[in-house]
Amino acid sequence: MRNFEKPTRSVAVSRHAMAATSHPSATLAALQVMEAGGNAMDAAIAASAVQCAVEPGSTGIGGDCFVLFAPNGSDEVIAYNGSGRTPAALTLDWFAERGLAEVPRRSPAAVTVPGAIDAWTRLHADHGRLPFADVLAPAVRFAEEGYAISPRVHRDWLLEQELLAADPAAARIFLPAGRAPKVGEVHRQPELAETLRRIAAEGRDGFYAGPVAQDMVGYLRSLGGLHTLKDFADARGEYVTPVTTVFRGHTVHECPPNGQGIIALLILNILSRFEARGDPQSPDRMHVEIEATRLAYAARDALIADPDKADVPVEELLSDALADRLAGMIDLRRALTDLPPFDMPLHRDTVYISVVDRERNAVSFINSVFDSFGTGLVAPRSGVVLHNRGQSFSLKPGHPNAVAPSKRPLHTIIPGMVTRDGRVEMPFGVMGGYYQALGHAHLISKVFDYGMDLQEAIDLPRLIPRPGGTRVEAEHTLPAATAQELQRRGFVITPAEDPIGGAQAIRIDWRNGTLLGGSEPRKDGIALGL
């Protein structure tokens, strides 16, 4: 039971429906859509669209999207990959000719064709209930009439003032007084409102063709990009088959590569080889989680790529043999020193949404522009913030994740879903780019190994191994005795530069017919139910 003397929040509880997001306005929009007759898919899309307005640093219609959907309470989980591809003309030679060793952030080369709007429109057409215009109406209203700046949104915005000031449209829209808006100030995005109206009326063509596409392509080409209107017109996401593993009797579902969800499953497979007992923040448990993550991330960086363009060994990554071998490398006396190198980008921004409705349709929905405000490039007439997902590519010739024409990069954003005994049990997700795979495994382990409720599990202190060596960033709330013992074992424990990650989750209590939700205290959001 929660200690009510600690300054934390209770798990949210309701009977009929629930939404959990990182912004109160998005959570309320999702509930209002369901009260108006919409289902969980309508509500998730509405919440994501609202967040594209009120959390513009974290997400946007110029980003990508992945979704897991369990219809009518079943365990038949549907997955959708809404990630975009590089322009057909972009090659590895393009970077070599310019002497580039990595994809620059403020570059049109970092912009893959955004996949979010294709995902929204396809998923709504196939699984939604309300008219699409009704689903987008709350976001249009916030963009046009304005929204009050919340504390975490302000903090993240403040850190990107220099980036935004370097782009004329970004400076005009997002630094209206020459600075980031302060907490409580009202901000408006009329260009985004008009673009959302066009999408509501015209569907995907309102984004991938016509004036909006022309605005994005024209701006990118003016900066030296290779994007064409055909690249945008040809953009399509796809339904894919989830990858799964069984952890403590629960089936955990993730989207397959090019996402890193399979790495969350690999971490869980390694953790399943160790008994969970005692304190979930003990040095032994933290040691196991750190090493499982380091080993799994080494596999990710070497192997995960677009399966349309590279051979990704999915079966081997999920095999018992690999989990046994990696678990056997973990020595609780000392930190491992012989690991493959990491070369992935680090800090990323994303929003994650969990929704369950009265029919127990469950949606796990994630939308992202990668870094905060993506590239910092904004299409001037449409107000679309262009993401920088292309930075996830390798520029090493022969690497599975090397840049190539019409290719999707390795993706950090991953929705999760848990099923058991023929029914869906929990849509869940953890934001935070590099942290996400560990975050999924950490949350699942704390709930199913240690019996924590969702809010308790989300509130726990976090840590994350960093690329190279044995450095581990830890939040200041990690128990000092644990940090000291990990240091003695050879880990270099350093303070986290930022709050680590962000999570939302909803658990279905089938016996009582109720819903229990948790929401990230490191963000501004909330879980609420009907």
Catalytic residues: 350
User: What whole-number distance in Å separates Cα of residue 527 and Cα of residue 453?
Assistant: 14
Q: What are the DSSP calls for 470-510, one per residue?
A: TEEEE-TTS-HHHHHHHHHTT-EEEE-SS---EEEEEEEET
End-to-end CA distance of the chain: 23
Q: Which helix (H) or strand (E) holds 14?
A: strand 12-14
- Identity of the amino acid at 297: Y
Two tokens, residue 184: 């409580």
Nearest-5° Cα angle at 376, 373 to 380: 110
Q: Which residues of 288-314 are buried (b: 16+ CB within 10 A; e: fewer)?
A: bbbbbbbbbbbbbbebbbbbebbebeb
Residue 524 CA to residue 22 CA, distance in Å, equals 6
Counting beta carbons within 10 angstroms of the beta carbon of residue 4, is it exposed (0 to 12), middle (13 to 18) or buried (19 or more)?
Answer: exposed
Dist. CA 233–CA 386, nearest whole Å: 17
What are the strands of the beta sheet with 492-495, ordered from one edge? Answer: 463-465, 471-474, 492-495
For strands 471-474 and 492-495, give the pairing.
parallel
Query: How many Cα atoms occupy the beta-carbon half-sphere of 124 within 13 Å?
Result: 25
Which contacts (CB < 8 Å, 24+ apart) does range 122-125 have? Answer: 122/80, 122/204, 122/237, 123/41, 123/45, 123/67, 123/69, 123/80, 124/41, 124/42, 124/45, 125/203
Residue type, 402: A
Give residue 81's identity as a one-letter amino acid code: N
Contact in structure between 268 and 432 (CB atoms under 8 Å): no
DSSP per-residue string spanning 381-440:
TT-PEEP-GGGGSB-STT-TTB--TT-PPPB---EEEEEETTEEEEEEEEE-GGGHHHHH
